Structure 1
Amino acid sequence: MTASVAAAMITAPGSGQGKSLITAALARLHRNAGRRVRVFKFGPDFLDPMVLERASGHPVYQLHPWMTGEAECRWRLAEAAREADLILLEGAMGLFDGEPSSAELAVLAGIPAIPVIDAFGMAQTFGAVALGLARYRKDLEIRQLIANRVAGQIHADMLAESLGEGLELLGAVPQDAALSIPDRHLGILQAEEIDQLDAQLDAAAEVLQKAGLERLPARVTLSAEAPADVPKHLAGRRIAIARDRAFAFIYPANVDLLQAMGAELEFFSPQKDEAVPEHADALWLPGGYPELHAGTLSQARRFQDSLRQHHAGDRPILAECGGMMACMETLHDQGGMAHAMAGLLPGACHMSERLTGLGIQSLETRRGTLRGHTFHHSRLDSPARPVARTRRQRFDSAGEGVFLDRGLTASYFHSYFPSCPEATATLFQSGGQSLLPAGS
C-alpha cells in the first residue's frame, strides 16, 4: 500500500520541553478544522497516548523499530495515510536519545522532524541548538522548529532571526496554562483523571492557532506491505481483561492481536469490585496504578475471591507490573501503609520514591521472543524465585524476573504481544508453565 499525507514527528532536544502537549494541541487544532488526524507515539508509553487519543479522536499506537519492529512501523503509518489528512508522531525524550532513537523512526519512515525547543530564558542560543539538531544527522530532515514558552513578539523575532539558512520558525508558543498537565511518579495523569480535558485541549489548540501553527507540515509518501493474517490460535477462547484507573496500561495493538487470533474479550473493573467473569478461560491483569487504589482493591472482596478461584482452577493469568502487584500478599503504598492483596504470590510489594526499573527488554520463550519494556517505582520482597528473566536490550544483561505459579505468569515486564503472536497465544492457552518451564 502507498499513500501521500502531511506528516511530521514532533520532538525536542530533551524531556520537559513541552512536546507532548504541543503534539496534543496540534492534533486537536487540525481535528477542530475538520481534518482527519492520526497520532502515533514513539516507544513504550501508556500515558501520553491517552491524552493524544482524546485530542485526535483515534486510538494511538506505539511505534518503535526494535520493540514493534520496522515492518510494523512502516505498515501502521502507511495504513493511516490511506485515510488521514495529517499524521503526527510524538517522539520520546530527546531526538537522538536511546538506541534506537526517535530520529531512527523518522528516518525509517521518511518523515521530517519538527523540534519543540523551550525558549524560556534563551535568545540567540536558540539558533545554535536548532542548528545542532538539524546537522547532527544528514539523513534526517529538519526544516522547521517550534519555540515554546516565548515571552512575546520581540522574543519571537529574536528567535526567528537566530536561525540559520534553511531553517524556519514554524511558530512561537507563549506560556499558557492550557499547555500544562500535572504529573505523578510514572508520568502525566491519565486522561480520564484530568478535569475538563477536552475544554483544555480546545484552549491549547487556540493558543497554537494564534501562534501560527495551523499550517500543515510537508506531504510525504508512505508505503508498506500489509502483514500476513495471524493464525486463529485463540478462536473461541474467552479472555477477561481488567481495565479501569488501577489497571489501564494496555497497548491497543495487544487488544487487536488477541481479537485477530479469535479471542472473545470481556473487560471488567477490579476497582469497582467486579468479579473475574466465571466463564473466562484466561485472565489478563495489565499494569497501571494499583498503589493509588490499594485501599479500594484491598476491600474488593468479590474481585479478590474470584481471582483466587480462577487461579485455583489452574486457568492462565498474565499479570504485568501493576497486575503482579495485585497478586502479592501485601502492597505497601507510597505512604508505607500495608494493604492486603489477593495473595497468589508470597511476599509484599513496596513503593519507592525512586525509579526501580526502566528500559526496553525481551523475553526468550519456547515459541519465540516477546519484546516489551519495564517502568516501575516499586520493588518485590518475596521468597518466590523467578523461573526466567528478561534481557535488557541496551546492555544485553538480565532484567526483570518472571514468576510462575499454576497458571499464573507474573512479571514487571510489559509484553508487546504482536512481537511474538505464538508466545502470546500460548500464555493465554496454557500459561507460562508450558512456555517457560522451571529451570529454563
Structure 2
Amino acid sequence: MNEFDLSLKIAPSRAKTALSAFMVAGTKSGCGKTTASLAIMAALTRRGLAVQAFKTGPDFIDPGHHALATGRPSHNLDGWMMGEAALRRCFERHAAGADAAVVEGAMGLFDGASGDSGQGSAAQAAGLLGLPVVLVLDAAGLGRSAAAMALGYARFDPSLKIAGVIANNVSSDNHEFVLHQAFAGLGDLPFLGALPRDAAVGLPSRHLGLVTAEDAGRSDDFFAALARLAESRLDLDGLLARCARPAPAAKSPTDPRSDPIPVPKRTRLAVSRDRAFCFVYRENLRLLEEAGARIVFFSPLDDRTLPEDIGGVYLCGGYPELHARALSENASLLGELRAFADAGGPVYAECGGFMALARALRDAGGEVFPMAGVFPFLAAMGEKRQALGYREIATRAASLLGPAGTTARGHEFHYSRIAAYGAPQTEAIYDLTGSRGALPGPEGFVRGNVLASYVHLHFASNPEIPGHFMRLCAAYRAGLAPRETARG
C-alpha cells in the first residue's frame, strides 16, 4: 500500500521556453502507431529529453507502455468525454516543463464518437491543440499507393498539418526505396522513414487490446531496441525541428483549478492498483486529490486487508477474469470489502471493479470463483464482445456521484455480462445513452453507499463528482454518513 502523491512527477531542472509537440496518428487500428510512438518516445528519452506522453481516446493500456518508455505518467486526452477546455488544460498542465510532448492517437486519425463528427477523434485533439500530425500507415503490400493513401488523409481535413509519414511493416530495403520514391514528389508531405517487420519489437494483444504494461514484462532492453530502431530509421531531428512551438506556462491562467482546493484534513481514499485492477484515468485521481482525497493504493490480489482509516474505496477496472483464482483465494480482502460496504462505506467500482463486487465470476473456461458478494450477480465472461462505445449517464436517484439528475460521460468496453441479478436491495439508477441513442437494460447499480457500473466515467465531464464523492467519504469517516445515500 502506498499513498498517491501528485508531486511525484519527474520535474524539470529549468524552465523551458520551447517545446517540440506533435501527434502520432494512424490510418487505422493495428497499423503500428503504438510501436512507432513508443520508439520515438524511447529515442527522445534516451537523448536526455524530458518527454511527456499523452493518448487520445478512452484507452487505459497504451498510457502504461508510454510511462515505461518515458519514465513519466501518460495522460488521456478525449474531447468527447472531457470537453474542449478540460482537454486543453490537461495538455498544458502536463506538457509544461517538458522538452517534447508526444500524443498517440487512437484508432484511425478521424475516428471518434460517430461517423458524421470528429468529436473524440485524434484529429479533433490535434486541431484543438494545434499539433502537427505524424501519420503512420501499414505499408504491407503497398508501393506508390501508400503515397495516395497519405495524400487522402492530408486533404480530408486541410486545416490539419501533416508533419510527415512513417511507413510500418516494410518488408525489405527495396520496399523502402520504392516508398521513398513514391513520396519524393510530395514535398509538403515529408517521408520520415520506414519501420521494418520485426517481431522482436511487436506488442502482444488480447481481448481488450494490447497486453498491459504490468503483464507484458518489457525490460529496458526492449525500449533500448525501439530507440535504436527510431534513431536508425526515422528522421527525428527533422521531426523535432518541424514541430517546435513555445512551451506552455507552468500553470495555465485559464485553468480554474490550477491550485488545489484547500482542505483542512484530507480523507484517505483506497484506490486499487495491481496487475488485475489498473484501468483508471489519471485525471480522475488528480481531481479527487483536488477535492480532498489522500489517495492510498492497495492490491486486491496481494494485500490481505484494506488500508487503514479510509473514508472510501475506488475499485478500478482491469482484468479480474485473468486473475480470478488469485482474487477469489484472497478471501480476507474480499471479506473486508464486503464488510466496508455493509457498514455504509462509500465504494465506487468500474467494470473489472464491478465484477469483483459480484457474488461470483465465471471465467472464459466456465470455472466459477466466489467474489466479494456485495451484489447478488454472476459476472460471466463470454466469447463475444458485450459492449463497446462512448456512454453518457444521467442518474435517476442520488448516489455518491451527486444528486438525482447528475450527468457524466465515459466509455464502456467489456466481454463479460451480468448473468443473474434482481435482489430487492439492488437498484439500477443510470439512464444510459450511446452514440445511437438510449440504451436498454439496467446500469449503475446501487446498494447502500456503493455504486458499481460497467461504464468508466471521466470525472472531467462533471467536475462536481469528485467533490461530492469525497464529501461523502469524509462524512463516513466522521460517522456522519447515512448507511444509504438518500434517494430522490
Choose which of 369, 378, 388 in structure 1 pairs with 2:416: 378
In the alignment, what sits opposite 2:338? 308
Mark the CA change 1:93 to 1:17 in structure 2 (over 3 Å): closer, same or farther: same
Choose which of 176, 190, 197 in structure 2 pairs with 1:156: 176
Distance in structure 1 (CA, Å) of the matches to 2:85 and 2:337:
38
In the alignment, what sits opposite 2:243? 218
1:166 and 2:207 equivalent? no
In the TM superposition, 1:106-121 aligns within 5 A as 106-121=126-141
Q: How many residues align?
A: 439
1:192 and 2:214 equivalent? yes
Distance in structure 2 (CA, Å) of the matches to 1:18 and 1:344:
42
Please state how far the C-alpha of 1:2 moved relative to its aligned partner. 11
Distance in structure 2 (CA, Å) of the matches to 1:54 and 1:122:
32
In the alignment, what sits opposite 1:182? 204
Distance in structure 1 (CA, Å) of the matches to 2:33 and 2:427:
39
Asked if structure 2 preserves the Cα contact closer than 8 Å seen for 1:110 and 1:220, the reply is no
Render the CA deviation track for 1:70-121: whole Å, top value 9, x for unaligned: 1122223233443111111100100111131111111111111111111111
In the alignment, what sits opposite 1:68? 82
Segments of 5+ residues of structure 1 without an aligned counterpart are: none
Choose which of 214, 217, 227 in structure 1 pairs with 2:255: 227
Distance in structure 2 (CA, Å) of the matches to 1:425 and 1:157:
57
Distance in structure 1 (CA, Å) of the matches to 2:385 and 2:213:
22
Mark the CA change 1:390 to 1:156 in structure 2 (over 3 Å): closer, same or farther: farther
In the alignment, what sits opposite 1:298? 328
Choose which of 93, 96, 108 in structure 1 pairs with 2:110: 96
- Give, as a single letter, the amino acid of the residue that structure 1 aligns with 2:243: A
Please state how far the C-alpha of 1:386 moved relative to its aligned partner. 4.6
Mark the CA change 1:2 to 1:345 in structure 2 (over 3 Å): closer, same or farther: same
Distance in structure 2 (CA, Å) of the matches to 1:249 and 1:33:
30
Render the CA deviation track for 1:333-361: whole Å, top value 9, x for unaligned: 11111001111101201101121111121
Give the match's secondary structure for 1:157.
Answer: helix
In the TM superposition, 1:17-56 aligns within 5 A as 17-56=31-70
- Give, as a single letter, the amino acid of the residue that structure 1 aligns with 2:27: P
CA RMSD of aligned residues (A): 2.4
Give the match's secondary structure for 1:345.
Answer: coil
Distance in structure 2 (CA, Å) of the matches to 1:317 and 1:81:
33
- Percent identical across equivalent pairs? 35
Please state how far the C-alpha of 1:266 moved relative to its aligned partner. 1.5
TM-score, normalising length: structure 2: 0.84
1:140 and 2:157 equivalent? no
Segments of 5+ residues of structure 2 without an aligned counterpart are: 1-14, 114-118, 396-401, 474-480
Distance in structure 2 (CA, Å) of the matches to 1:17 and 1:387:
40
Asked if structure 1 preserves the Cα contact closer than 8 Å seen for 2:193 and 2:235, the reply is yes
Render the CA deviation track for 1:271-298: whole Å, top value 9, x for unaligned: 0142123421111111111111111111
Please state how far the C-alpha of 1:213 moved relative to its aligned partner. 3.5
In the alignment, what sits opposite 1:394? 435
Distance in structure 2 (CA, Å) of the matches to 1:2 and 1:32:
19
Please state how far the C-alpha of 1:314 moved relative to its aligned partner. 0.6
Please state how far the C-alpha of 1:429 moved relative to its aligned partner. 3.6
- Give, as a single letter, the amino acid of the residue that structure 2 aligns with 1:317: V
Please state how far the C-alpha of 1:417 moved relative to its aligned partner. 2.1
- Give, as a single letter, the amino acid of the residue that structure 1 aligns with 2:416: S
In the alignment, what sits opposite 2:384? 354
Distance in structure 2 (CA, Å) of the matches to 1:68 and 1:81:
17
Distance in structure 2 (CA, Å) of the matches to 1:62 and 1:143:
22
Asked if structure 1 preserves the Cα contact closer than 8 Å seen for 2:411 and 2:457, the reply is yes
TM-score, normalising length: structure 1: 0.93
Give the match's secondary structure for 2:393.
Answer: strand
Distance in structure 1 (CA, Å) of the matches to 2:446 and 2:483:
10
Mark the CA change 1:305 to 1:81 in structure 2 (over 3 Å): closer, same or farther: closer
